[in-house]
Each structure stands twice: as C-alpha cells, then as structure tokens.
Structure 1
Amino acid sequence: MEHAPVIIFVGLLVFLAHFFVVLFDRTRVPDVLYLILIGIVIGPLLHIVTPDDFGKLGNIFTTIALVVILFEGGLDLSIESLRVSLRGTLLVTFVSYSIALVLLTITILIITTLPFLLSLFIAAVLAGPAPAVVIPMVRQLRVSDSTKTTLTLESPFGEALCIIVSLAIIESLKLNEVHIGKLIGNLLSSFVFALIIGAAGGYFWSILLHRMRQLRFAIFTTPSFLFILFGITDFLGFSGPVSALAFGVTLGNVGLKEIPWLVKKFNLTPLVHNETEKLFFGEVVFLIKTFFFVYLGLSVRLSDLPSTANALLICCMLLLARLISVRISASKEITPQEDAAVMGVMIPKGTAAAVLASMPLQMAMEGGEFTQNLIYSVVVFSVLITALLIFLLEKPLSLILVNFLFSRYSKSKETVLDK
C-alpha cells in the first residue's frame, strides 16, 4: 500500500506526543520542542515532506489550529480573572508590541539592505505573540491565574495588532504614504466589533445548546458554529482570533447571566459546556497542536543561510524587547518573579506571521522572497528559543538571572513548571 508509511507515522506521532507530555513532567523540556524538531528532521533535513506537499491545505490547517486553540483557551477563563487582568493585559500588549516594533525596525535596517517601509512591515509582522503557540505552552506552566489570563488574552490581541498594522503598511507600500488616522480607526473597529460578534455569537449558541444536544453526534456542532463565526468576522474585516476567544470566554461563563424575557417567553436558558464536551475539545486541541508544531518545523528553510543568521539575531532582539516590556508594564503587585520571567521569554511567532510573510512576494516587491524566508525562519527559531528558555528557567543559574532582572517583583515559592 503506497500510503502505509504515512499512516504508520501519523499513528506513531500521536503516541510520541503523549510520551513527550510525560517526558515534560520529568525533564521540564516542553513537548513543543520535540515536535518542532521532528518537523525539522522530516522536512528541511531529510526532505521527506515539504510544505508544498500540503498546498493550500497547509494554511487552512494552521488557521483551524489557531481558532480551536483560542476557543478552548477561552473556555477556561473566568470572568473574575478577566476583571483582574484585562487592564494589565492591554498595557502589556501595547507596550510590548510598540517596543518590539521600534527595535526590530532599527535592527532590520542595520543588518539588511531592505527599504524602510519593508523593514517596518517585517517588524510589524514579528512584533506580536502567537496564540497558537503561547496558549498550549501556558497551560503546561505553573503560573498564577492572573498571569495565565494575561498571556492568554495578550496573544490574540497582539496577533490582531500584527495583522492590522502589517496590512496598513502594505497599503502604504502601494500608495507610498502612511495614514495614521485610518490605522487607529481600523485597530479600534477590529477589536471592538470582533469582541461584540464573538460574545453575541457565544450567548446565542449557549441558548441553542439544549436543542443541539437532542441531535445525534452533536458534539461537533460547537466547533462548526465557531468556524462560521470566525469566517464571518474575518470576512467583515475584523479580528477573527479575538472573536474566537470572546466566543470561548462567553460559553465558559454564560451560565452566570440569564435574560429574563428570553427565559419566560421562549424557555431558553443559556447553558455552559459539560465536562464531557470540555474533555472532547481538550483532546481535539491536543491532536491539532501535535500536527501544528510538526508542520511548523518542516516549514523552516535552512538552505537560506543569510535569512537563518538574520533570523537568530532578530530573535535575540525580540527577547530583549520582551524583557524590557515586561519590566515596564507587568504589575509588580500581582506578578510573582517566576511569572514575570515566563512572560519575559514568551516571544513565539506563528500563524499570522507565516501568512503575512508571503504578501510582499505575491505583490512582486523587490526583496519579497528574502522577506518571506526571513519571517519563516524567525517563526520557527522563536518557538524553539521560547521552549528552550522555559526549560532553563528552573536551573540554578537562570534563577540568579531572574532574580537580577526582576528583583522588584515578589518572590514565589512555587516552581515555574508543573511537577
């Protein structure tokens, strides 16, 4: 059978993913690291599989991974943790993005011969975090609920910033001028309307849940509705990731709020997902996460040495920008030292960066291919570096450095990683 080796590999990969989770508990090495390395081995090293083999399905798969991971992450966020963390999250998001944008633009202008607007575009694409990477990582770490909520919220907000600012710069490249007012308006409308659509969709779906549960095999109807909601939001020009997160948060907390006239007239009461449904979504996320990180690994282009070297330098600047941002913006009253360190090394890039990377090449811009290869390399190396730094955070030497960098933050007796 021609496809037998592929089927065997898929089955082995799922077992390996479970093994890596167990290994994480013993060695503190995040499973993400192993999965990406598998992708690098079967992709750029052995050339068994390439991203081109997946065609358009590759981009669709990464988008599905992003949507499902955001939704499942939102289900676990409580209204109380949102209330405590939202203000701090917005501060961290905008400070981190702004500092990274400035530092990366300067760095790219120095190390390459790219023009200013194209350098600014690359910086805008890479300045924000990747929710498809951050959220699975955060779930494995022993950090406070406040920090977990902050990182879970920051990642889609930051990714939305990446998309909106990058698209605005692309328009500027076409017109050779910058419209600041239009950029700010697009930012506000994208966030606000995405939140409204996601929350309204979540409440609407919650009151239909008791009807849906009467159908056979109805457990897939929630992800199906989520994809429709994400697609509509994105089609309207708003932030699909933010709407997916808002949808999950609403479904996770909707039992706290009923609309009296709706209950009285139509006997419709909002329902939250039961434990069986939550376990099912968790299993789906586990499978998608496994294949997503392997796909990320095989997408790297090691043959382009200049892009690889520049990507490593850009990752170092990303780390510097992130550490500065966390020291400036993270609350010293509610953020333990170990949590601040975890926040400080969260520099992974993902789906949005990979999609946006190809835009200059599609527009036949000079330096478009170099831009795409550079961003792809940064995406993979940033995830690898983040996973490695998470592992190193518990080492004695790292704790000394953490104490030096975040001396003003409160000390916690808990370890950073789950035991």
Structure 2
Amino acid sequence: MTIETGLDPVSALAIVGVLGVGAQWVAWRMQIPAIVLMLAAGIIAGPVSGILDPMRDLGTLMGPLISIAVAVILFEGGLTLNRQSLSGAATGVYRLVLIGAPVGWLLSTLALHYVAGLGWASATVFGGIMIVTGPTVIAPLLRQAKLAKRPAALLQWEAIVNDPIGALAAV
C-alpha cells in the first residue's frame, strides 16, 4: 500500500508519534529494548508499506527537523552525565574513545570498501557512523541487561563521549 499524494506534515508526525509511543509501550510490556520495536515499526510504516515517506510527506521541513533531531540526540546524553560514575571507569572510557573509536572507524571503512564494494568516500562516512554507539540506544539496553555498576558506567560514558565524535567523523 503506497500513498501517492502523501500526507500533510502534521499527519505524518502524528503517525510517527503514535507508532513511537506504541512501540515504547509494547516494548515495556514485553520487557524488550524499545529500539527493536521502533525500528520494526519504522521499517513497516516506511519502506514496506509506503504509508510514510519523509521526503514526500515533510518536504522542505525535512532539513530543519533532521537538524533539530540530531542536536537533541547528540547532546541529550550530556545532560544525563553522572560524573561520579566516571571515576571507576575513566581508564576504560579513555581507551575506548581514544583507541577503540579510531580503530573501529578504520576497520569499518576498510570492510565497507573491500567487502561491501563501496567507494572510499562512502566507506569513510559509513565507517564514521558505525563507531557511534549513542546513549539513546545504550541506556535502554543497559537497563534491560542489568549489568554491574562499573561496566554499565563504562558503556554509558563511552556512548556519551563517542556520540559527537562519531558524528564529526561522519561529516
């Protein structure tokens, strides 16, 4: 089912909101990470069914909405920082960010170029995106996994610090 004429921006955003809240609620009831159901809902509502097409439905609003969303996602993690949790995980965070991120970027870029056959420019951009773990994804997964304090703090801090680095690497 594809909607040829498109939805007005308010309707499109309302559908996205309902799908997001619904996926969040179902995930909470099923005790699974919400990101799994949100991804499934987005894929079904977008490419599979054609109900939502951001370029068609949002038009010129697409650019500003993406900019706002990226800013919120990148800097939301910084608002939830707990400096006390860094003390026990500082060495690990430094290693993950200063060594792990560049090595991950390099290996992802090489794999994307040689295995997936992408050009160097595309492979480098996608490699930069691949190193981002992101606190908005990691935090719910950590709550679900119920890890010990130190590994949870290490992963949370790495996600928060690495998020803007990965965004800059992709740009």
- Alpha-carbon distance between aligned partners in 2 of 1:4 and 1:118, rounded to the nearest angstrom: 34
User: For 1:366-392, what per-residue CA distance to the aligned partner results, in whole angstroms no more than 9, with x for missing partners?
Assistant: xxxxxxxxxxxxxxxxxxxxxxxxxxx
Which string of whole-angstrom CA distances, capped at 9 and with x for unpartnered residues, describes residues 210-265 of structure 1?
xxxxxxxxxxxxxxxxxxxxxxxxxxxxxxxxxxxxxxxxxxxxxxxxxxxxxxxx
1:264-306 per-residue CA deviation (whole Å, 9 max, x = no partner) reads xxxxxxxxxxxxxxxxxxxxxxxxxxxxxxxxxxxxxxxxxxx
Q: Which has the larger radius of gyration?
A: 1
1:87 aligns with 2:91: yes
Q: What is the distance in 2 between the residues matched to 1:148 and 1:102?
A: 26
* 1:31 counterpart = 2:34: yes
Measure, in 2, the Cα distance between the counterparts of 1:12 and 1:162. Answer: 28
Q: List per-residue Cα deviations over 1:59-111 (Å, max 9, x = no partner).
A: 3124224433441x32xx251x2111112111122332133223222222313
Deviations 1:134-155 (A, max 9, x none): 2232233201111121111111
Report the counterpart of residue 140 of structure 1 in structure 2.
144
8 A Cα contact 1:30 1:137, kept in partner: yes
Paired residue secondary structure (2:87):
helix
2:69 aligned residue (58, 61, 76) = 61
| Separation in structure 2 between the aligned mates of residue 121 and residue 153 of structure 1, nearest angstrom | 23
RMSD: 2.9
How big is the shift at 1:133? 1.7
Tell me, yes or no, if the aligned pair for 1:70 and 1:131 is still in contact at 8 Å: no
Residues 124-139 of structure 1 mapped to structure 2, 5 A cutoff: 124-139=128-143
8 A Cα contact 2:12 2:52, kept in partner:
no
Q: Say if 1:128 and 1:159, in contact at 8 Å, map to a contact too.
A: yes
Cα distance change, pair 63–35 in 1 and its aligned pair in 2 (3 A): same
Using the size of structure 1 for normalisation, the TM-score is 0.33
Cα 1:78–1:50 shift into 2, 3 Å: same
Count of residue correspondences? 157
TM-score by length of 2: 0.73
CA distance in 2 between partners of 1:50 and 1:63 (Å): 22
Question: For structure 1, which runs of at least 5 residues remain unmatched after alignment?
Answer: 167-352, 357-419
Distance 1:44 1:144, change over 3 A: same
Q: Is the 8 A contact 1:20 1:34 kept in 2?
A: yes
1:20 to 27, 30, 49: 27
Q: How does 1:142-157 map to 2 (within 5 A)?
A: 142-157=146-161
Question: Following TM superposition, by how much is the alpha carbon of 1:12 offset from its aligned partner in structure 2, in angstroms?
Answer: 6.6
Q: Which runs of 5+ in 2 are unaligned?
A: 1-7
| 2:112 pairs with 1:112 | no
